[in-house]
Amino acid sequence: MKILEKAKIGNLTLNNKIIMAPMGTKSDGDGSFSERDIAYFTERAKGGVGMIMTGRVGTQDKYEMRTNHLLYKYHHVTKLSLMAEKIHLYGSKLCVQLGPGVGRQAYQDPFTPPYSASAVPAFWFPNLMCRPYEKEQIEFLVQSVGWSASLAKRAKADAVELHAYGGYLLDQFHSPLWNKRTDEYGGDLKGRLKFTLDIIKAIQKNCGEDFPLIVKYTPYHGLPGGTELSEGIEMAKMLEAAGVHALHVDKGAHENWFDVISTIYEPDAHQLDIAAAVKAAVKIPVISQGKLDKPEVAERAVVEGKTDFIALGHQMLTDPYWVQKVKAGITEYILPCIGCNECVHSSHQGRQQSCAVNPQGFREGDYPVLPANEKMSVLIIGGGAAGMQAAITAAERGFDVELWEKDYRLGGQLLPAGAPTFKQDIMRYCDYLVNKLSRSKATVRLNKEATSKEILSANFDKVIIATGARPFIPPIKGIDGPNVKDANSVLMGNETTSKNVVVIGGGLVGVETAVFAKETAEKVTVIEMREDILLLADHNDNNDQKIRKMITDSGVETICSARITEIGQDYIEFNKDNEIKRLDCDTVVLAAGFKSNNELVQELEDVIEDLIVIGDAISPRKIYTAVHEGFHAARIINETTKVLLNK
């Protein structure tokens, strides 16, 4: 495969054309890379990736609240050099991404104006007007990046990448959308690129012109007033002329964050055409990203000459051994990223990053799956995400595992969640779990309805309840009518909708069902009792932006702050603003939430000692909670007992 061939960036040779894209991680208190960082990146090096890029490393903390990582003092070199050493042991290269700041994207507080190119509104606090950087401050930032690059080289990093994309500080200088300056750092393209070009010169002065230097930049924003591709091409030529060795192409800004950081809703290779346009204009290598995680998609992108290198971000967090599995020809063993962005969401909530479908992602060493100390039999009731993950982990530990599923197939809530064409990554993940479970030594019994009597008579050592949830049916007049359909059944194609559809419920399931129904219906309306749709959706901002855009683009109408009072054969009545209103429709789809299937729990919790309940059987939540609870339920079986006995 072309993607597995060696390739060069400047004088640097990579073992393959796969690069781990930059993603921010949390540091130790002093800004150094932590032991957790080192373990995380080393695991990806073991997986065979050609080069690892760090997330943005700050080159100063004078004008912005301290970033996740810093590199401007000698002691910052120590941990970075250890990380480089460990990465090199496995044949991977290390590229440190450096940037002078995030500018108007700074999330500090609603009282302190951040710095930017000009006096433009701060992104997170629009009522704050940014403070424009003074010339002397810009010159300080230029020199700070050059100095930090020299420290990266001293730490034995193989390359540096300049952070100049995505609506962050340097990109704010690049674009007239945010750069309103009239001095030498504004005006025409040459002026707007001066800050970046000066930094390139500073890096070259400190590291030498042969030291591999990559610039990640945004040639197209896709926003009114943002950078257009024609100007982005001119930027590429100017950067090439400045002596950079490769261009890492990005798209979008925080206003359309889903273009920058892919969500589940984006199509494959959604940034590739932008990269291809840049590649046609320059002679230096181009790196592309954006849902290139399917090996066949990545290979085609390189074979067709649209990019030279493939950057994988969240897919590398999900499965660090992507490259090794492609080499071995076992691509069906790749754990797919599902685009949920829980990794970003957890970080933005101040928590440690993690992955929804890889509980050991950024937990390397924290949660080992150890062989069982004694043989035990484990029964798992329910074959959704939680149950399958529990069965896989328990079997991996060496327990005798049996899983009962009442349906004729495994998957649970993953099946309707992954049924729409715009959510096929969920189905890929479901298939992955089913296949991995089939390769394990667990016994799976389908069409097996569990009863408390049979569970007790089977006499298993451990019982794990993962029975999931079922749709909540609100007490509305006419809710049992023949024109009322369940959202899950509609998503899975078991029930069809007609031309004029009303969806009851504006949560995530409701709005996704509405978009799906609009593919065939003439009119779709979502009615939500709260003041807006998606208010209870616990997901990242880019996912929220995208599904709202899909609602708008598809023409789905929304009525909020409304309570359904009656469903008729060809109408629905609702109360809004203390007024009863009627809306004609021929199909009503119910998406009013879920309630746990916890009857078995109630029957067994006082009978079976240490009964384990996981996933939606506790309360309806997300894939993240289902997978992690399933993993840990099986991982710590007997652990607590062992600790207590040893005390």
CA 473 to chain centre: 32
What's the pLDDT tens digit per position in 443-476? 999 999 999 999 999 999 999 999 999 999 999 9
H or E element that contains 238: helix 229-241
pLDDT level of residue 96 (50, 70, 90 thresholds): very high
Do 302 and 308 touch, CB atoms closer than 8 A?
Answer: yes
pLDDT level of residue 644 (50, 70, 90 thresholds): very low
List beta partners, residue 98.
Answer: 57, 162
What's the pLDDT tens digit per position in 324-379? 999 999 999 999 999 999 999 988 777 888 999 999 999 998 999 999 989 899 99
Please determine, for residue 641, whether its predicted confidence score (pLDDT) is greater than 90.
no
Q: What tokens does 72 get?
A: 């401007």
Share of the chain above pLDDT 90, in %: 93
Residues in the chain: 647
Rounded to an integer, what distance in angstroms lies between the CA atom of residue 277 and that of residue 321? 31
Which position has the token pair 């890379």? 33
What's the pLDDT tens digit per position in 562-580? 999 999 999 999 999 999 9
Please determine, for residue 646, whether its predicted confidence score (pLDDT) is greater than 50.
no
Average pLDDT over residues 235-261: 97
Please determine, for residue 66, whether its predicted confidence score (pLDDT) is greater than 80.
no
**Is 168 one of the catalytic residues?**
yes
In single-letter form, the type of residue at position 500 comes to N
Do 495 and 489 touch, CB atoms closer than 8 A?
Answer: yes
What is the CA angle 537-542-544, rounded to 5?
30
- Is the pTM here over 0.85, yes or no? yes
What's the pLDDT tens digit per position in 407-432? 999 999 999 999 999 999 999 999 99
Which residue is catalytic, options 40, 115, 133, 168? 168
Please determine, for residue 645, whether its predicted confidence score (pLDDT) is greater than 60.
no
Rounded to an integer, what distance in angstroms lies between the CA atom of residue 556 and that of residue 32? 48
Do 497 and 516 touch, CB atoms closer than 8 A?
Answer: no
Q: How many CB atoms lie within 10 A of CB 623?
A: 21
Secondary structure of 29-88 as H, E, C letters? CCCCCCHHHHHHHHHHHHCCCCEEECCCEECCCCCCCCCCCECCCHHHHHHHHHHHHHHH
Q: Is 156 left (phi over 0), alpha (psi -120 to 50) or beta?
A: left
- What pLDDT does 647 receive? 42
pLDDT level of residue 24 (50, 70, 90 thresholds): confident
In single-letter form, the type of residue at position 265 comes to Y
Rounded to an integer, what distance in angstroms lies between the CA atom of residue 542 and that of residue 312? 18
In single-letter form, the type of residue at position 455 comes to I
Domains of the chain, start order: 2-348 (3.20.20.70), 377-470+596-646 (3.40.50.720), 484-592 (3.50.50.60)
Please determine, for residue 541, whether its predicted confidence score (pLDDT) is greater than 60.
yes
Q: What tokens does 563 get?
A: 């309570």
Do 58 and 96 touch, CB atoms closer than 8 A?
Answer: no
Under DSSP, is residue 220 helix (H, G, I), strand (E, B) or coil?
Answer: coil
The pairs formed by 229-234 with CB atoms below 8 angstroms and a separation of 24 or more are 229/274, 229/277, 231/189, 232/274, 232/277, 232/278, 233/277, 233/278, 233/281, 234/189
SS3 content of the chain, % helix, strand, coil (to 5): 35, 20, 45
